[in-house]
A and B are shown apart, each in its own frame.
Chain A
């Protein structure tokens, strides 16, 4: 099992980045919690949403996909932000993608790329289209998801920010569950509350929230007692030797 994870800043590939142990452990925890959740509610398609841009939604979604793939699950990462593709620019021009599957009824398998991690695959969003909401709310999108669900163990969908467009709600409502990514120290709480209400109104199964971009020192102080204990004991052993 490898521990490759993704950095959003990585310019020309999806997976090249090595995080420190804390970050890797954080993603292991996230994947673990989703697995615990799955014992009662099986999840095949998971979408990752956030209120606004720059909350780290795409990085969380991609690293979660990597984490599942590292566990041996055949995982597909879908970039569903048809209005503002993220990985499109980094991977070079890819005409084919989700948009063309929905718009031209292309075969999904023709658009899916290998994401340089074993068992991880990537479906780009495709070329820019205008009537994105109509496409995403069509039965065709659900059919595509159903078909892909049969071929993959996990499908992680990166969505557009919910504050900007309605697309995210539409996508979330047809998936098995949604993870809300919240940037640490996000100030506009009421907007988040409204977003959660809106998601519930759209009958979205909210798996839970992910608090993202927590400063490392704060993270270590608040959330990693075990790790600290382990480090202290390791240092003690080293000094004893």
Chain B
């Protein structure tokens, strides 16, 4: 099958391809815009601080290495069962610790002692409440553990809506593309199964010859009948 014939068959029912593409894009667009729940993110930055009057280490490299290790420790403590249980008790969240853990993300900024804590939730107030409770309970946990390290708040908790615009457009484009592929596939299937010569386009495409005339059925009665 040549490219020309392939394209001709693929878009033989252009209305079908366009219809399916638009319908798929509309469905996905409406679903993502109207039915999906908006997500809010509250973030705060904390800096790991050593015990009063103590540095972390003697050399810069050792200091960085120590910061990485302490950062990893802090991440584990923040998302520990005891801290999260306390957060659930404070905020009255429904669900268990594992569910809450999925909403919390702790990241250490490279070569620093700064941790970024992010809480994602469906309401702005609750996201703020969780992150506040988290830092309080974390601080209490460190104190309870008698840890020589503490933390300082670099950025107070802030809430913003989770950006998902790029995904939104991507989903619509993907849906439109999927609709187009479906339309083209249907064109091939229809051409395979419904082989009936009923238009100039189909005649030319299937037979590979040009149509030079289309003759309609006459609806008149014979004139000689009247003559008689």
Interface residues of A (CB under 8 A from B): 7, 9-10, 13, 16-20, 22-23, 26-27, 29-30, 33-34, 37, 56, 60, 179-180, 182-187, 189-190, 192-193, 196, 206-216, 218-220, 222-223
Question: In the complex, what's the smallest C-beta–C-beta distance from A218 to chain B, in angstroms?
Answer: 8
Q: Is the interface of A mostly helix, strand, loop or mixed?
A: mixed
Interface size bucket, B side? 20 to 34
A222 to B202, CA, bound (A): 13
B220 touches A207 (CB 8 A): no
Query: In whole angstroms, how far apart are the Cα atoms of A179 and B203 in the complex?
Result: 14
Point out the residue from A7, A186, A220 that lies within 8 Å of B218, measured CB to CB.
A7
Identify the closest chain B residue to A37 (Cβ). B212
Q: At the interface, is chain B mostly helix, strand, loop or mixed?
A: mixed
Residue of B whose beta carbon sits closest to that of A22: B216
State whether B196 touches A186 (Cβ < 8 A). Answer: yes
Is the beta-carbon distance between B214 and A214 smaller than 8 angstroms? Answer: yes
Task: Give 20 A-B pairs besides A37-B212, A214-B217 with Cβ atoms closer than 8 angstroms.
Answer: A7-B222, A16-B222, A20-B218, A20-B219, A23-B215, A26-B213, A30-B215, A180-B209, A182-B203, A184-B198, A187-B196, A189-B196, A189-B197, A190-B195, A196-B207, A209-B207, A209-B210, A210-B213, A211-B199, A223-B200
Across the interface, which residues of A come within 8 angstroms of B215, CB to CB?
Answer: 23, 26-27, 30, 56, 60, 210-214
| Shortest distance between the CB of A42 and any CB in chain B (Å) | 16
A195 CA to B12 CA in the complex, in Å?
23
Q: Which residues of B contact A (CB under 8 A)?
A: 195-200, 203-204, 206-220, 222-224, 227
- In the complex, which residues of chain A have a beta carbon less than 8 angstroms from the beta carbon of B204? 209
**Contact flag A196-B211 (CB < 8 Å), given A17-B223, A182-B203, A189-B195:** no
